[in-house]
Amino acid sequence: MAQTPVTDIRIETSRLILRPPRLEDLDAWAEMMSDETTAKFIGGAVPRPVSWRALMTMIGSWHALGFAMFSVIEKSSGRWVGRLGPWMPEGWPGTEVGWAISRDCWGRGYATEGAIAATDWAFDHLGWSNVIHSIDPANVASQDVARRLGSRNLGPGKLPPPFQNSVIDLWGQSREEWRAYRSSVRT
């Protein structure tokens, strides 16, 4: 089966477009990652050069592995509003679907809407059998997103360096649990 070119990958939801990150996303990405409140639970606020490296890591992962987090584009404005999706760097505790949305877009349901589409994509296109979400126990908002996805707290987890001192719980579910959950919420 032929693989879809990275530049052609695009998922649309009712309000969002998910596509692989591009260099043009850097300004918005760096702005989000410099905000202490937004970045608190995703490694902390970082300067623009560190955001550039993170963006290049995502772009490189798309080309090397065929997946990474998507850039989240708000359909109504065309604006970059976050990043979310499949993520599994070396040493990670599992196949993750994670999310980060710019603070001025919190409370709109974008993380849940995008994570549903990204989880479907990870199970259907990557063939993953499980999905996790690495969530700080104090990050109630992300726990709420995980619950809306049908995930449950699986207990404490451990991240690889340089995040080995981060306190996280692993939330998640199997592909079968996901499909059963998705069927139950559609009816």
Give pLDDT tens digits for 115-167: 999 999 999 999 999 999 999 999 999 999 999 999 999 999 999 999 999 99
pLDDT at 1 over 70: no
The radius of gyration computed from the CA coordinates of the chain, to the nearest angstrom, equals 15
In a domain, 3, yes or no: no
pLDDT at 79 over 70: yes
Q: Is the pTM of this model over 0.85?
A: yes
**Cβ-count burial of 170 within 10 angstroms (0-12 exposed, 13-18 middle, 19+ buried)?**
buried
The sign of the torsion formed by the CA atoms of 22, 63, 182, 99 equals negative
**Cβ-count burial of 50 within 10 angstroms (0-12 exposed, 13-18 middle, 19+ buried)?**
middle
pLDDT at 28 over 50: yes
- Tally of domains in the chain: 1
In a domain, 89, yes or no: yes
In a domain, 122, yes or no: yes
In a domain, 2, yes or no: no
CATH number for position 93: 3.40.630.30
Q: What letters, b where the CB count within 10 A reaches 16 and e where it falls short, cover 26-36?
A: bebbbebbeee
pLDDT at 84 over 90: yes
Which is more confident, 111 or 7?
A: 111
Task: Quote the mean pLDDT of the chain.
Answer: 95
In a domain, 4, yes or no: no
In a domain, 5, yes or no: no
In a domain, 47, yes or no: yes
CA 187 – CA 33 distance, rounded (Å): 38
Backbone angles phi, psi at 109, to 5 degrees: 85, 10
Q: Which helix (H) or strand (E) holds 59?
A: helix 48-65
pLDDT at 81 over 50: yes
Kindly report, residue by residue over 94-114, the tens digit of the pLDDT. 999 999 999 999 999 999 999
Report which of 180, 76, 85, 173 is spatially closest to residue 126, judged by C-alpha positions.
Answer: 85
In Å, what is the CA distance from 45 to each residue of 29, 32, 54, 97, 134? 11, 9, 12, 21, 18
* pLDDT value for 15: 98
* pLDDT value for 130: 97
In a domain, 160, yes or no: yes
Can you give the residue range of the structural domain that contains 168?
10-186
Which residues lie below 8 Å from residue 112, measured CB to CB, with a gap of 6+? 145, 148, 149
Kindly report, residue by residue over 117-130, the tens digit of the pLDDT. 999 999 999 999 99
In Å, what is the CA distance from 104 to each residue of 80, 110, 173? 12, 11, 29
Report which of 67, 108, 66 is spatially closest to residue 86, judged by C-alpha positions.
Answer: 67
Share of the chain above pLDDT 90, in %: 92
